[in-house]
Amino acid sequence: MEWELGDDDRMLVEGAREFARGELIAKDKVWDEKEQSLCGILPQLAEMGFMNLRIRSEYDGLDCPMEVYSHILHELAYASPAVAVDLSVHNMVGEVLQTFGSEELRRQILPTWGTAESLGTFAISEPDAGSDPSSIQTTAELKGDHYHLNGSKMWITNGLSGRWFMTLARTGKGKKGVSAFWVDGNSNGIERLAIKGKMGQRGSELVSVHLDEVEVPVGCRLGREGQGLQIGLAALDGGRIGIASQASGISEACLDEMCAYAKERQQFGRPIADFQAIQFMIADSLVELDASRALTLAAARLHDAGKPYSVAAAEAKLYSTEACNRVAYRAVQVHGGTGYVNESRVERLYRDARVTTIYEGTSEIQRIVIARGALK
């Protein structure tokens, strides 16, 4: 399906596609095999402008509309879902600072956001607080002009190389007792531990973080005390468009792989593409890919227009990620035994697809968001 874009935006998206398909597919295979961090490529990603796409031009960003940004993440995810999720998280964290940080903090940090040294992390989940961020146990106690943060965070993307942590900590009781903070990763008292053995997207760093008397200046609190949940959920709304874009990129890669293999693989004296069973799997995958893109871009356009988009983002994230898993399943099925070994790209994509229904809000959480919107 073709999508309408202006000439400048089309050039940006086509540049991302050319780079991703020309360089990232091979690199992603190595990152997966060695469970090696992709962060060595961050300087190149920064040079190409991918790290400050969502930052406004007044802070030296590219001011990229969400619709165009979605296309770019889709193209990057086609080649490397790990790169796409790392950049999605980084740009999401930058948007949080841009929206909720003080002007002084924005002026200090955002002009450097497009550099490899300013990698951002979204440190909200905890060992016992995932889908329910209101149950976090990390505390922030105000002592003079600094908060002292204590606690543990879990499943943190970019957590080893990240310089800046956007996190939530408890400053009081209940849901109104959660506040948001901007934490310098170079602060004393931060311990990072890599989580190994991931099923997929193995080039993307995933860590647990322990905070022990980490001092955070009052000026690095985001928003008001007690506004943390609102800030975290607002960030996730935009982030879900990013993950939906990532999922559709994986779906397109799977579809291309299964079409190419079906035309090449011979059985009973002819290509398996001639068989209706294979054709139906390809047809269903194409329909789900196009539907995923339509839902995702609809949410992105609402975001760009300044209209409410939370439910639309949840719909896009739910459908695109669930469809991605179905398409990846079919891709392996079409490849048969070849698709079951790690020399086949669809084996890797199948593993990469699985987590998309889990992070930045599980499918079950998306259904709750959607239902609440319908029942208002």
Catalytic residues: 360
Phi, psi (deg, nearest 5) at residue 35: 45, 55
Q: What is the DSSP letter of 180?
A: E
**Within 13 Å of residue 63, how many CA atoms lie on the same side as its CB?**
6
Token readout for 243 is: 């993950």
Q: What is the DSSP letter of 171?
A: S
CB 231, CB 100: distance < 8 Å: yes
Would you tell me how many other CB atoms lie within 10 Å of the CB of residue 290? 14
CB 182, CB 101: distance < 8 Å: yes
Residue type, 102: S
Of how many residues is the chain composed? Answer: 376
Nearest to 369, CA basis, from 309, 329, 320, 327: 309
CB 137, CB 69: distance < 8 Å: no
φ/ψ bin of 68: left (φ > 0), alpha (ψ from -120 to 50), beta (otherwise)? alpha
CA distance 153 to 130: 10
